[in-house]
């Protein structure tokens, strides 16, 4: 598996991350087959969150992989905190510290490689966040930090107080949900795509060495469904099929290769729990689309150029 540096850190990670949000839908043997199969293919970066399955996903993962100190050193674990049932969002010092301790217990590990603050909290007090992250870093419980679904303004506010760098920002991005890309391409026009709705988050992350981790890379809309092999997107799928034939890879690999081709150095997060489908996705790391092919896919999805 091809690797990359995560943000400004020295942490070497696979260019494709394995999302574990849906692992609770697997049986024990199925989860073991999936996780161990991912490791065998070099997909050793696993993305979690304390809210996934109310913690069950982290527990199932640890059981599936047979977590021991020796096994732990073969993987990179990322989890997220900040979403709370009934209360919505909570970036208080107490909740961050409690959430991390819970994730460590469920994952059967002493540390997280990366902790992301999961979505913005309107009531965030950045001084408390700074204290919590400082404690976690000093104790060795968390080695690197980042955010999820956060705009530049919120990141700047947090960074005013937090001394540790943010190395990742997990954001929704796909061929059909590419507003953070289309903004730059249509700027200085009257088209609706020219309005920045995210504070130019892609440029901000590039300027500040923050790796963008696209989530739901196969989804259109907000969890409305996948566009791959979907009759609602005939032109896009025709182009994907053509390029899949050219490169000798499945269509899923072309979809992720489109994200990997962007010079921002993104790390897409898969969501499949199917070992064969994951294998298809990982083949994206083996190919590099041409500039022409990247734009052809962009236009085939219904995006426009001025």
- Residue 82 is encoded by which pair of tokens? 């900040």
The CA distances from residue 222 to 68, 225, 226, 227, 263, in Å, are 37, 8, 10, 12, 25
Distance CA 134, CA 245 (A): 50
Residues 6+ apart with CB under 8 A from 87: none
295 is catalytic: no
Residues 6+ apart with CB under 8 A from 228: 218, 237, 240, 251, 252, 255
192 with 186: CB under 8 angstroms? no
Q: What is the DSSP letter of 48?
A: -
22 φ, ψ to 5°? -100, 10
Distance CA 5, CA 14 (A): 9
- Local structure of 140: helix, strand or coil: coil
Place of tokens 């010092």: 93
Please tell me which residue in 52, 204, 247, 298 is annotated as part of the active site. Answer: 52
Residues 6+ apart with CB under 8 A from 131: 93
Q: What is the DSSP letter of 54?
A: G
Place of tokens 């700027």: 187
CA 235, chain centre distance (Å): 27
**What are the catalytic residues?**
52
């Amino acid at each position: 598996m091809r690797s990359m540096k995560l943000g400004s850190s020295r942490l070497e990670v696979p260019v494709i991350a394995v999302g574990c949000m849906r692992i609770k839908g697997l049986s024990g043997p199925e989860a073991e087959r999936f996780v161990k199969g991912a490791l065998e293919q070099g997909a050793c970066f696993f993305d979690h969150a304390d809210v996934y399955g109310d913690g069950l996903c982290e527990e199932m993962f640890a059981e599936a992989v047979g977590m021991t100190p020796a096994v732990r050193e073969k993987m990179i674990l990322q989890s997220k905190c900040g979403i709370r049932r009934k209360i919505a969002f909570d970036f208080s010092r107490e909740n961050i510290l409690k959430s991390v301790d819970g994730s460590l217990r469920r994952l059967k590990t002493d540390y997280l490689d990366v902790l992301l603050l999961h979505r913005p909290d309107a009531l965030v007090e950045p001084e408390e966040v700074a204290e919590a992250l400082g404690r976690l870093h000093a104790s060795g419980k968390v080695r690197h930090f980042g955010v999820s679904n956060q705009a530049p303004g919120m990141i700047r506010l947090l960074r005013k107080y937090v001394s540790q760098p943010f190395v990742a920002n997990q954001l929704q991005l796909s061929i059909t949900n590419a507003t953070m890309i289309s903004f730059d391409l249509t700027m200085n026009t009257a088209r609706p795509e020219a309005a920045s709705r995210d504070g130019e988050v892609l440029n901000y992350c590039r300027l500040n060495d923050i790796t963008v981790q696209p989530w739901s890379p196969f989804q259109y809309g907000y969890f409305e469904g996948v566009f791959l092999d979907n009759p609602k997107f005939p032109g896009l799928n025709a182009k994907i099929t053509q390029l899949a034939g050219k490169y000798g890879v499945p269509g899923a690999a072309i979809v992720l290769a489109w994200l990997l081709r962007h010079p921002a150095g993104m790390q897409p997060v898969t969501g499949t729990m199917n070992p064969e489908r994951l294998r298809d996705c990982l083949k994206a790391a083996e190919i590099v689309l041409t500039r022409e092919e990247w734009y052809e896919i962009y236009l085939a999805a219904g995006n426009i150029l001025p």
